[in-house]
Structure 1
Amino acid sequence: MAHAPKDSGVSLSSFFDRNKLPSGVKDECDEFVKSRFPEESRPCPFQGYCSYTVCVGTGIIVQFRPFAHKLDLGIITTACEVFGTLAPQTDCLGELGQTGLHIYSMRRLPGVSLIDLRADNDRSALRARLENVVRDFAQLQAISWRHAKLNKDITKKRTVGSSLKWRLELMAARLPRRFRNIVVSALVDLPDIERLPWAFSHGDLIPANVMVCPESGRILGLLDWAEAEYLPFGVGMYGLQELLGEHKDGRFVFYPEAKYLRELFWAELITAIPELSQDARRVATIKQAQILGILLWHGIAFDNGKLDRVVEEGKDDAEIERLDAFLLSPLGSSSSVLRKKRIMLSSPLALVRKIRVGNPCCF
């Protein structure tokens, strides 16, 4: 079912200003698209930080990216090989004159963004759709497990995977004190985490990049694979938190059913990866890897892609607020994991049975 794109109201000029491009470059981009494609085109409703994106007809998008954020087509190819149609096939169309912008065309994924799904549904309608979002997110992780590699077989690690220990040590020294025990715990467990299979992980799991069926909530694809790379299995699950709540009145708020949805995710994952059902220790390590992912994605500032500075209160308050919600709140990921650290978890099969039987009081 086709849905008309919504206008996010984003300022397109910010991309061009941020990259110090002359005011006429946007017109050059638009003219290139019109000269190359006969279909009607318009700026896409949701623009990323690192690109200017144009929708062409109903099936294509064209993206303009500066050299610092150009796409590695090998990474996009891997995403398509691992996740099939959930990742958009992408081609390079060259560079735009003397602007330094690299041009890409890619298949437009169906559905609406998770942001739109939330906006278009009241709470009662959203609940059932969220279950499907969470179930499918678990299936995505299971797909990455089946295509995972051993650490020693990753011949070329990218930005994050090649610097896990350094980043944790940086955060241990510079994050606000209330997070440091969590960072130290991840450092202690890092050797075990790195012994997990290394799975191909999406590098920007935010609601705007998750495309879903508006009627059911089933995940139809993921946008923006520019930062994807192989990482220890579980690290890429940092994005689960964004599925369990949303930003309201300046802070992240978990849904009332967040605990149930988190348990549903783990039950679905363990069912999809049968070997985990008898390996409580490995499940515990994967949960610790998920906390590592939260630290890596919200504890290190983006800084236009530099990724070499720890977030600071008063400067990176949005990320600090995410760390507080995801790691320290009662509904966050780390509270139960840290309480049970060094203690074997109950059988993963028990968790599966609990979810399969159902917990009607959760809704």
Structure 2
Amino acid sequence: MVWGSSEKAGSRTADSEIHLNDQDIEAFFIRNGFDVRTRDACDEYARVRFPGLEATPTSTQGYCSYTLNLSKDYLLQFRPEAFMLDMDTCSEVKAIYGKYAPTTTYLGKVQDIVIQHLDSHVGSPAMHVYLHKRIPGIPLSEFRTRRKMNGREADDKIYNKRLMRGLAKVFAMGFRGRQPLGDVAMLAGSISKGRIGESMRWRLGLLNGLPGEDLRRHVSGAQSRLDSVEASDWCLTHGDVLPGNMMVDAKTGRLTGLIDWAEAEWLPFGMALYGVEEVLGEHVPSEGFRYYHDHEELRQVFWRKFLSLTGREAMQLRQVEAARRLGILLWRGIAFDDGRIDRVVEAGRDDSEIQKLRLFLEAPSVLENSDKVRHQSIFWDFGYFSCWGGVEWMRMRKRRAFLRRSGDEGRDSESVVQNVMGKR
């Protein structure tokens, strides 16, 4: 979703780099069963609900939504029934990740929309409206492109280290908000499994069809460790940790937050660590994805910061590594086909994905990185930091209560609209 720039629909990125043009926008409405005149209805909704503000389409559009700029602080987003946001999840995300996650308010439905036809695969033709408070900055993908265009790549190491420390902080926040699968809260239903969490075993079965004996050995290993991974700590996990969804300060490169939490769900901690690999290199024409020369050093920067915030003794690193490999297999081993995630990547058709899959699976493990950090004589006060894990859940709950009493979170939609209009 365009809480800053891009969007995902499934377990793989859909359109981190889809740039604005009328054909893309029209395709969104048609694809979801709406007449193209529905766009006019959405634009009219923005004009009526926010008079005096000039609502214009964002420079990038998501696969699952139509998004308008309202002001420097707010975005208005339209989503079909099939891609509605779970507002409880939005609240949990904000409570756990604080300033690194957007604030979202549900405004209702667009009235008098026009549909093409009733199609069973499209579902209900309703169009839902959300107001998002922006996360400041620009996407990391854009930040890196700008630096290349301006010939300023010489000091990228400094920016990459800043990024890794920022990512480590976000992952640490997720870890502190963890819940064990067998916890009373999980059994009571306050934490429910989502699309990926419910289907990990089935999806791993699909991956037995991966090309190459080496990849199938990784799948076999993941299957043998699945019970242990499922029994580990579960965290509210971002659904697509990619450069297009990481917002950074345009001048300093510091991480300001993550956008596109539409597919966030509770998953075993470590499954989103494929995102660390995603930012340690870039796509090179004719070569595919290639790591930066200092990628191993940057991994240690990440783990040094992460472990300083959580403590090595607060987690089972073997389980985290097993979850990391499972995440890589699911996110890079299953193809994205217009939102469907039921096809294994194929040689000759998804070669870039297969190349990245192999590269990530052969990367240094969590245990290797944590041991290197430890052997570098980095001193942590484990007694101090590990206690954070025991109290962070309560802090998160208090933060959520505070957010509901202040700001946009938890306020009725009309008061938020008045705030956007500058009337409060």
Taking structure 2 as the reference length, the TM-score comes to 0.73
For residue 307 of structure 1, what is the aligned residue in structure 2? Answer: 341
Q: 2:252 aligns with which of 216, 229, 232?
A: 216
- Correspondence 1:354 to 2:376: yes
Write the distance in 2 (CA, Å) between the matches of 1:110 and 1:95: 27
3-state SS in 1 of match to 2:240: coil
Q: Matches of residues 96-115 of structure 1 in structure 2 within 5 Å?
A: 96-97=110-111, 98-99=113-114, 100-115=126-141
For residue 58 of structure 1, what is the aligned residue in structure 2? Answer: 72
Write the distance in 1 (CA, Å) between the matches of 2:369 and 2:293: 26
Deviation of the 1:347 alpha carbon: 9.2
Taking structure 1 as the reference length, the TM-score comes to 0.85
8 Å Cα contact 1:267-1:351 kept in structure 2: yes
For residue 43 of structure 2, what is the aligned residue in structure 1? Answer: 30
For residue 122 of structure 2, what is the aligned residue in structure 1? Answer: none
Deviation of the 1:43 alpha carbon: 1.0
- Correspondence 1:325 to 2:325: no
Answer 1 or 2: higher relative contact order, Cα 8 Å, separation at least 6: 2
Deviation of the 1:107 alpha carbon: 0.4
For residue 267 of structure 1, what is the aligned residue in structure 2? Answer: 304
- Correspondence 1:119 to 2:145: yes
Q: 2:83 aligns with which of 65, 69, 76?
A: 69
Write the distance in 2 (CA, Å) between the matches of 1:60 and 1:321: 39
Deviation of the 1:7 alpha carbon: 9.8
For residue 360 of structure 1, what is the aligned residue in structure 2? Answer: none
8 Å Cα contact 1:110-1:211 kept in structure 2: yes
Q: 1:159 aligns with which of 195, 198, 212?
A: 195
Deviation of the 1:79 alpha carbon: 0.3
Deviation of the 1:13 alpha carbon: 3.0
For residue 232 of structure 1, what is the aligned residue in structure 2? Answer: 268
8 Å Cα contact 2:300-2:369 kept in structure 1: no
Q: Which runs of 5+ in 2 are unaligned?
A: 6-16, 115-125, 380-424
For residue 242 of structure 2, what is the aligned residue in structure 1? Answer: 206
Deviation of the 1:102 alpha carbon: 1.4
Write the distance in 1 (CA, Å) between the matches of 2:54 and 2:160: 34
Which 4+ stretches in 1 moved above 6 angstroms?
Answer: 4-7
8 Å Cα contact 1:270-1:352 kept in structure 2: no
Write the distance in 1 (CA, Å) between the matches of 2:353 and 2:77: 27
Partner amino acid, structure 1, of 2:211: P
8 Å Cα contact 1:247-1:253 kept in structure 2: yes
3-state SS in 2 of match to 1:351: helix
Write the distance in 2 (CA, Å) between the matches of 1:64 and 1:352: 48
**Pair 42,175 (structure 1): closer, same or farther in 2 beyond 3 Å:** same
For residue 241 of structure 1, what is the aligned residue in structure 2? Answer: 277
Write the distance in 1 (CA, Å) between the matches of 2:345 and 2:78: 28
Deviation of the 1:163 alpha carbon: 1.8
8 Å Cα contact 1:244-1:261 kept in structure 2: yes
- Correspondence 1:175 to 2:175: no
For residue 258 of structure 1, what is the aligned residue in structure 2? Answer: 295
Of the structure 1 ranges 93-102 and 316-325, higher mean CA displacement relative to structure 2 is found in 316-325
8 Å Cα contact 1:46-1:208 kept in structure 2: no
8 Å Cα contact 1:268-1:352 kept in structure 2: no
- Kindly provide the CA deviation profile for residues 275-332 of structure 1, in whole angstroms up to 9, marking residues without a partner as x: 438x7xx22331221111111112223334343332333444443343133225xxxx
Write the distance in 2 (CA, Å) between the matches of 1:123 and 1:261: 16
